[in-house]
Amino acid sequence: MQSALSLSFSQASLPLANRTLCSSNAAPSTPRNLRFCGLRREAFCFSPSKQLTSCRFHIQSRRIEVSAAASSSAGNGAPSKSFDYDLIIIGAGVGGHGAALHAVEKGLKTAIIEGDVVGGTCVNRGCVPSKALLAVSGRMRELQNEHHMKAFGLQVSAAGYDRQGVADHASNLATKIRNNLTNSMKALGVDILTGFGAVLGPQKVKYGDNIITGKDIIIATGSVPFVPKGIEVDGKTVITSDHALKLESVPDWIAIVGSGYIGLEFSDVYTALGSEVTFIEALDQLMPGFDPEISKLAQRVLINTRKIDYHTGVFASKITPAKDGKPVLIELIDAKTKEPKDTLEVDAALIATGRAPFTNGLGLENINVTTQRGFIPVDERMRVIDGNGKLVPHLYCIGDANGKLMLAHAASAQGISVVEQVTGRDHVLNHLSIPAACFTHPEISMVGLTEPQAREKAEKEGFKVSIAKTSFKANTKALAENEGEGLAKMIYRPDNGEILGVHIFGLHAADLIHEASNAIALGTRIQDIKLAVHAHPTLSEVVDELFKAAKVDSPASVTAQSVKVTV
């Protein structure tokens, strides 16, 4: 939630150049109480350095935001005429929650419909409880690494764990975050409606036996684990991530089908707790979604040094759960020829083959919308597209259900973008600026293009690509932590300093990536950001050294140069 600041000012307190502009809607001497809800100061003419014409532009473009902020200070606003709500959100996951909070901030009367529990997949069956398990695996790895502990001069007896205690930690965290999300919406006056939501027609939604209307509607129903054909899930010995997060058992030997984010994180958890892991990957290499250079290093550290083996280029054509004393049976076939390849007998199997959109039963046929592989088609502004290729008025879809980028924070960003649009400000989200992270030990993070993707783009558009790298072994803080294993890599254009992609493998990589992602989002060029100052000694200097290692033909902007002179 964004912080809010209440200020009181009168016309006389404003800069002289701004008084005329701000006096058209109020008596000159009447004090005003405004509540800042993350809006920029310029929206209220609080910028003495602005020229008259500049401030007039701000006033016109932000007028709707000023009025919205005033109404949001009193809670959920009044609905538009002829509608029950200004905004109805179907799905109370992270995406729906982010949209709801921003909508109330903008003064919209908002309802959110949830057929399960608030928080959706991320909070209840995804990123939140998995981070609790990964926190445990990180502690276990450190305590089990005798060489690492001796380097600090520490002596630790054999580390152990209580399985139920670990499971309770994950469950309790999910409950706490779910309650936080629920309370934050209730505090702002968002109406939380219980029931399965479906679109009945234009601007009309049904949940349970109730029908409500909304000026705008957002579908934010998320996704569910994808289970390929031929795999029988019993929830005990053949499981999805939903089941694995409950940690009802720690098998001696578990096969993980899929080596993406989900599979890698669970391999980190299971091996730390004593399991042996076998990866089954359909593609020819592990970690196919990562930058090849980063995945090569990550494989050496995260897989080759642990009790993990793998089969690549194969499908698990059939998986039979354990029963009658027999183990889990996995039949492998060649991914290309479909010929039988091997048969595995293991204690358990985790299906980590990705996620599928949850879009069935939403009433999409009522508005002539046809899904594509289950995903709801949208344009760059998240507006839903019907079967004829036309936009469905006042209907949006965010998050996993549209398939643009299946990350919880991407869903929230899309929801905020939609709210900006429906309150009068056009906004297009740059998905290449959205970071992603894999919370293994060490972590992997990335934003933008991989090196192969960047070189393909460069060849098509006719520009050169350069690479900058820096090692965690050169970072004082990483060495102090005895965690020098790691690499940061940046792909960029040497002609103009545009950052095309950044990839990090190392200690706290998930935290370090945001300086690069924000630079991409704001259009900041390397020649400018390399002048920024970073505290020493910190891990942030890994990214600082990455920027400084880049060789850019263009000079720093006038603004950046003037700041440097002033300092």
Please give the share of the chain, as a percent, with pLDDT higher than 70.
Answer: 84
Cα–Cα distance measured from residue 446 to residue 439, given in angstroms and rounded to the nearest whole number = 12
Torsion angle of alpha carbons 5, 11, 14, 19, nearest 10°? Answer: 130
Cβ neighbours around 186 below 10 Å, total: 12
Of residues 72 and 166, more confidence is placed in 166
Q: Are 485 and 475 in contact (CB under 8 A)?
A: no
**Average pLDDT of the chain, as a whole number:** 87
Please determine, for residue 133, whether its predicted confidence score (pLDDT) is greater than 50.
yes
CA dihedral 536, 539, 545, 546 (to 10 degrees): -160
Q: In degrees rounded to 5, what are phi and psi of residue 543? A: -70, -40
User: Residue for token digits 């609080």?
Assistant: 46
Catalytic residue among 102, 147, 441, 536: 536
Tell me the residue type at 353.
T
Pairing verdict, β 5-9 and 340-346:
unpaired
C-beta separation of 203 from 213 below 8 A:
yes
Asked if the peptide bond before residue 442 counts as cis, ω within 30 degrees of 0, the response is yes
Distance, in Å, from the CA atom of 530 to the CA atom of 490, rounded to the nearest integer, reads 13
The residue-averaged pLDDT of 288-293 equals 95
CA dihedral 551, 557, 561, 564 (to 10 degrees): -70
C-alpha dihedral sign at 23, 26, 31, 36: negative
Of the candidates 408, 376, 384, 373, the residue with the CA atom closest to the CA atom of residue 96 = 408
Residues for the chain: how many in total? 567
pLDDT at 379: 98
Radius of gyration over every alpha carbon of the chain, rounded to an integer in angstroms: 26
Q: For 536-567, how does the pLDDT look when each residue is reduced to its tens digit (9 = 90+)?
A: 999 999 999 999 999 999 887 755 554 444 44
Q: How far apart are CA 354 and CA 258, in angstroms?
A: 8
Question: Which residue, among 405, 433, 427, has the nearest Cα to 520 in the 3D structure?
Answer: 433
| pLDDT tens-digit series, residues 188-215 | 999 999 999 999 999 999 999 999 999 9
Strands (E), 243-334: 253-257, 276-281, 308-312, 314-320, 328-334
Percent of the chain clearing pLDDT 90 (strictly above):
81
Q: What is the pLDDT of residues 170-182, one digit of tens each?
A: 999 999 999 999 9
**What is the average pLDDT across 296-311?**
97
- Report the alpha-carbon distance of residue 459 to residue 335 in Å, rounded: 30
The three-state DSSP-derived secondary structure of 436-461 is: EEECCCCEEEEEECCHHHHHHHHHHH
Q: Of 356 and 20, which is predicted with more confidence?
A: 356
Structure tokens that stand for 501 in this block: 């992609």
The residue-averaged pLDDT of 257-262 equals 96
Q: What is the pLDDT of residue 18?
A: 36
Which of helix, strand or coil describes residue 388?
coil
**∠165-166-171 over CA atoms, to 5°?**
95
Q: Is the pLDDT of residue 35 over 60?
A: no
* Cβ–Cβ < 8 Å for 85, 215: yes
Contact 115, 219 (CB under 8 A): no
**What's at 419, amino acid-wise?**
V
Residues 472-527: tens digit of each pLDDT: 999 999 999 999 999 999 999 999 999 999 999 999 999 999 999 999 999 999 99
Residue 539's CB: how many other CB atoms inside 10 A? 23
Nearest one of 96, 95, 44 to 70, comparing CA atoms: 44
Looking from the CA of 509 toward its CB, the CA atoms found within 13 Å total 30
Residue 30's pLDDT is: 34
Confidence of residue 75 (pLDDT cuts 50, 70, 90): low
Residue 64 is predicted with a pLDDT of: 38
Q: Is the peptide bond before 357 cis (omega within 30 degrees of 0)?
A: no
pLDDT at 361 over 60: yes
| CB distance 356 to 193 below 8 Å | no
State pTM to two decimals: 0.84
Q: Which residues pair with 119 in a beta bridge?
A: 93
Whole-angstrom Cα distance, residue 542 to residue 533?
Answer: 12
Q: Is 102 a catalytic residue?
A: no
Closest CA to 328 of 241, 232, 262: 232
pLDDT in tens, 437-466: 999 999 999 999 999 999 999 999 999 999
CA 179 to chain centre: 20
DSSP lists the bridge partners of residue 323 as 326
Residue 85 has pLDDT above 50, yes or no: yes
Of 25-34, 417-426, 549-558, give the lowest mean pLDDT range. 25-34
Minimum mean pLDDT range among 35-44, 258-267, 377-386: 35-44
d(CA 469, CA 492) in angstroms, rounded, equals: 11
pLDDT in tens, 270-280: 999 999 999 99
